[in-house]
Amino acid sequence: MTEPTETSAPPKPVHTIVLDAGPLIKNIPPISTLLAQSHVLLTTPAVVSEIRDPDARQRVETLYLPFVERRSPKPESLKVVSEFARKTGDREVLSRTDLEILALAYEVECERNGGDWRLRKVPGQKGINGVPPSKEQQWKAGTEQNEAQEKSSETSDEAAGPVAVDASIDDVVEGLEETTLEEPSQPAEQSSTPPTNEPERIAMPEAGSEDSEGNSQDEQASDSDDGWITPSNIKQRQARDAAKAAASVETKTMQVATITTDFSMQNVLLQMNLNLLSTNNLERIRRLKSYILRCHGCFFTTREMTKQFCPRCGQPTLTRVSCSTTATGEFKMHLKKNMQWNNRGNKFSIPKPIAGTSSGKWNGDGGGKGGWGTELILAPDQKEYTRAVAENGRRARKGRDLMDEDYLPGILTGERTRTGGRVKGPVER
């Protein structure tokens, strides 16, 4: 009776996943997927305290926190990540919590892989910092083992050479002594066929031979049919080939990976060569694709997607252009070869503002049909545009959370509220 063999669980693609606040708040990917794809889930205590929405915080405490370990990075790791982010230009937009997540990923990466040999110290570095320590140890151990085997083989050949020859000679002599030259009692024809215990073969009739030939032809036809791909067996063949390919490919475990939705953090992770996973299918991201604004007139680029006029030339010629950041930190813009500027609105001239009014608002005839030309914004210094920008800024300031850890008061940032008048002195009566 054979003993039952223990079936080992298949290896998971990732050992440790470091989570940011974005995936926790949005619940993408779900906790079941994270547990199925990794062994350890890590985050920082600041990420949990950063979640202020009651519903999201309750969901995170119920679903994620029982399986997620909270750990704070060391100051040394925080310093390394902060210096690297300053070199990439993302330090100003990264908060303390973001830097802690990056430092935790860097620290666990060094622990799992035995150092920072697979990372980069400077943005744009062509290669990695060093060689895997395991390969160096294997090479040294292999050379030492080969030298030892060569020495042992030389000594064994010298010692076992004559002994093996003497033993072979003794075997030949013993075999010659045991041989006899007696004549065989049976005829040569009978002695030529050795006796066997197999039953005698019965000759089948000719009809049976025809049947056997037919069966053999059917077997050959069936064998030939198995080799052909037909509409009936194409799915089976595809599944069989996919299973063979999956069995032949060795699954490599990713030691540490990070999941975040912040673009600046993703940029730093890729340029440091830290593993970055997608929130949709947990696949490794090797290239980031985003969008910037590029002026069609002066070719100025900006990442502020809320801009409507070019900060350099002041014209409304900003176009949305896709760009990507490779794993080496190289920034590329993807422009159309046959791009043609849209001249819509340039066929007819803009109607003149209404005479006799300081604001130019429509108050009867003038300004085009229906007064459509009275509210056009053509420049960033136009009073309607400046008023709208000021109103939006006022609303944003009112919506600030004074208890936010990243909030800085105006006395530190230099921002001052405008009262709109002179300071009044004491009233004289």
In the annotated binding site for Zn(2+), the residues are 295, 298, 310, 313
Query: Could you tell me the CA-to-CA distances from 155 to 142, 144, 146, 158, 164 in Å, in that order?
Result: 20, 17, 14, 5, 14
Are the C-beta atoms of 259 and 279 separated by less than 8 Å?
A: yes
Nearest CA among 95, 101, 33 for reference residue 64? 33
Q: Return the amino acid letter for 104.
A: L
> For residue 218, which phi and psi values (nearest 5 degrees)?
-65, -40
Are the C-beta atoms of 14 and 257 separated by less than 8 Å?
A: yes
Rounded to a whole number of angstroms, the CA Rg of the chain reads 40
Place of tokens 């910092």: 129
Helix (H) or strand (E) holding 165: helix 133-178
What three-state secondary structure class fits 40?
strand
Residue numbers in the known binding site are: 295, 298, 310, 313
Nearest CA among 278, 317, 314 for reference residue 295? 317
Q: Quickly list DSSP for 171-238.
A: HHHHHHHH---PPPSS-HHHHHS----PPPPPPPPHHHHHHHHHHHHHHHHHHHHHHS--TTTHHHHH
Place of tokens 């709109």: 420
Are the C-beta atoms of 74 and 49 separated by less than 8 Å?
A: no
Calculate the dihedral angle through the C-alpha atoms of 240, 245, 246, 247, rounding to the nearest 10 degrees: 90
b/e sequence 50-78, b meaning 16+ C-beta within 10 Å: bbeeeeebebbeeebeeebeeeebeeebb
Report residue 350 as tokens. 């803009």
Tell how far CA 216 is from the center of its chain: 55
Q: Quickly list DSSP for 256-317.
A: EEEE---HHHHHHHHHHT--BB-TTT-PBP--EEEEEEEETTT--EES-TT--S-TTT--S-
Query: Could you tell me the CA-to-CA distances from 388 to 276, 305, 362, 380, 391 in Å, in that order?
Result: 40, 17, 19, 11, 5
